[in-house]
Structure 1
C-alpha cells in the first residue's frame, strides 16, 4: 500500500476513534440511551467531523503559536503537555457545542446551556486523561510516521 494512503488511513482512524468516543459521550449526556441514540450519535459525529476537522487545524496552528510564544523557557515535553491540555479544553468545548446543538437545538437557550455544560463537564475529564497519553505516547510515533 502506498505510504501516503497509509498516512491518510491512520489520520482517518484516529479522527474516527476519538471523535466517535467524544461524540458518543456527549450524545449520551444530551439524550441518554434512548431509541434514537445511535442515529443522533452518528449525526453528531458527522457534524463534529465536518466542523471540527477544519476548525481543529486552525486551533492547532494558533495553539502551537501561543505555546511557543508564552512558554519559551519550557522543555519540549512541557510545551507538548500544555499544548495537549489546551487543545482538549478548546476542542471539547467546540465539540460539546456542536453535539448539543445537533441533539438539543437552540430553541430553548436555558435548556441548551444546561445540556452543553453537563455534556462538556462529562467529556472533559476523559479528554484531559487522553490528552497527556496522546501527547506522550501516540503523538511522537504519529509524528515520526507522518514525517516518513
Structure 2
C-alpha cells in the first residue's frame, strides 16, 4: 500500500535521474570530446558544451526509447525471461543513447562543414566509447533500471 507518508518526493526522483545521467553522460561525452578534438586548452569548455547539450537531448530520447524498446521486445520476444529482456533492451539502449551522444558531441566539436571529417570523427568517437557504452547499458538494464522503476512508481 502506498500512502503519502512513504511516497518518494518528486525532487528526489529528479535528483536520482540527474545524478544517473551525469555519471553516465559525463565520462562518455568526455571520451567522445577527446576523440573529436584531443586534449587541448579548449577541451574543458568543449566537453561541458557537449555534455550539456547531449543531456538535454538524451533525457527525452532515453525515456521515449526505453518505453518503446520495452514494448517492442516484450511483444516480439514474449518468452524471454525478465533478465534476458533487460539484456536485449540494455544493448538497444546503449547503441541508441551512445549514437545520440556521439552525434551531439561531434556536431558541437567538429561541425558539418566537411562531412567526411564529421563522419570520420563520429566513427572514431563511437568506436572508442562503444565498450563503455555497452557496459553501462547492461548495468543500467539489469541492476539500476529495476531499482529506478521501483523508486519512480513510489
Q: How much has 1:65 moved relative to structure 2?
A: 1.8
Deviations 1:5-52 (A, max 9, x none): 111111111111111111111101111111101000000011101211
1:145 corresponds to 2:148: no
Residue 45 of structure 2 corresponds to residue 39 of structure 1:
yes
Which whole-Å CA distance do the structure 1 matches of 2:77 and 2:54 have between them? 30
The runs of at least 4 consecutive aligned structure 1 residues that moved more than 4 Å come to none
Q: Does 1:29 align with 2:28?
A: no
**Number of residues of Structure 1 aligned to a counterpart in Structure 2:** 147
Which structure has the bigger radius of gyration? Answer: 2
- Residue number among 110, 125, 133 corresponding to 1:127 in the alignment: 133
Structural mapping, 1:9-24, within 5 Å: 9-24=15-30
TM-score with structure 2 setting the length: 0.90
Q: How far apart are the structure 1 equivalents of 2:147 and 2:74?
A: 21
Q: Structure 1 residues 128-137 or 116-125, which shifts more?
A: 128-137
2: CA distance between counterparts of 1:143 and 1:50? 21
Q: CA RMSD in A?
A: 1.3
SS in 2 for 1:106: coil
Whole-angstrom CA distance in 2 between matches of 1:62 and 1:117: 26
* Counterpart residue number, 1:88: 94
CA distance in 2 between partners of 1:72 and 1:142 (Å): 23
Residues 1:55 and 2:41 aligned together: no
Structure 1 residues 79-118: aligned runs within 5 Å: 79-118=85-124
The two structures have a TM-score, normalised by structure 1, of 0.93
